[in-house]
Amino acid sequence: MTEIRVIKERLLDQYKRRGYVKDVKAFDAFMRVPREKFIPERLASSAYLDHPLPLMNTGQTISAPHMTIMILDYLELVPGQKVLEIGAGSGYQAALIAAVVTSDEAPGHVYSIEIVPDLVEFARKNLARAGFDEYVTVIEGDGTLGHEKEAPYDRVILTAAGPIVPPPLIEQLRVDGTLVMPLGRPGLWQQMTRYRKVNDIEVIKENLSSVAFVPLRGKYGV
Ligand code: SAH
């Protein structure tokens, strides 16, 4: 069997050729985080196929590898940042983010909120297996309300698609920080969108790409 490292390098070569990702920190994170530890064991051999995988029997999915590393690019991460994720799912995206924002000199942290209790347990277990539990805190609840206790955040990422930006998430974002989310109704496609908080009353909106995500639930979801 081909070594996992080689399979990962091949995928990254493809992504570079297609211009999917520019940030080398994203490549390093992809090499460091074992995706196979974030999916049900019976699917482990599919860990590095470039498509989404089911999250247990919840109807939710873990995004395809190229989407997870494009998200790292969209977030423009640097070590030391505090990041809030909505939709922990398997915990994989949170681990990738943690791999970029935590370093010995600048320890950042990821808080990830998940609304499905079984997935809260699944994400925590996977993060521990992969050695990332120290850098990621998984919180059970409605992520559209954010997590006031640790605010403000440098970055906020939603990995489920909603019709509007949940207002608490903009409130809990640091001035100059960015929020990235798939904006749109569930169906086939949504628009990956980045919001930059200019000051307490102004945000700048930027369209990034067309994406397909599962629906955001909760108070400000669908
Ligand atoms: N980031 C995940 C994949 C997310 S799939 C990973 O790397 O595996 C989307 C997730 O968002 C699902 O687990 C779903 O249960 C969760 N979700 C949907 N609405 C939510 C909400 N309002 N608050 C928190 N989690 C939510």
Amino acid 1: pLDDT:
60
What mean pLDDT, rounded, does the chain reach? 94
Amino acid 186: pLDDT:
81
- Taken in order of first residue, the domains within the chain and their CATH numbers are 3-211 (3.40.50.150)
Q: Is the minimum distance from the CB of 221 to ligand 1 under 6 angstroms?
A: yes
What CA–CA distance (Å, rounded) separates 84 from 153? 6
- How close is the Cα of 105 to the center of ligand 1, in Å? 31
Q: Which two tokens stand for residue 157?
A: 């990422």
Amino acid 20: pLDDT:
84
- Which is the closest atom of ligand 1 to the Cα of 94? 7
How far is the CA of 47 from the CAs of 11, 31, 36, in angstroms?
12, 13, 5
Cβ atoms of 53 and 126 closer than 8 Å: no
What CA–CA distance (Å, rounded) separates 166 from 122? 25
- Which is the closest atom of ligand 1 to the Cα of 221? 22
Q: Tell me which residues of the chain have a pLDDT lower than 50.
A: none
Q: Is 63 tagged catalytic?
A: yes
- How close is the Cα of 216 to the center of ligand 1, in Å? 7
Active-site residue among 45, 46, 63, 103? 63
Q: Is the minimum distance from the CB of 87 to ligand 1 under 6 angstroms?
A: yes
pTM of full prediction above 0.95: yes
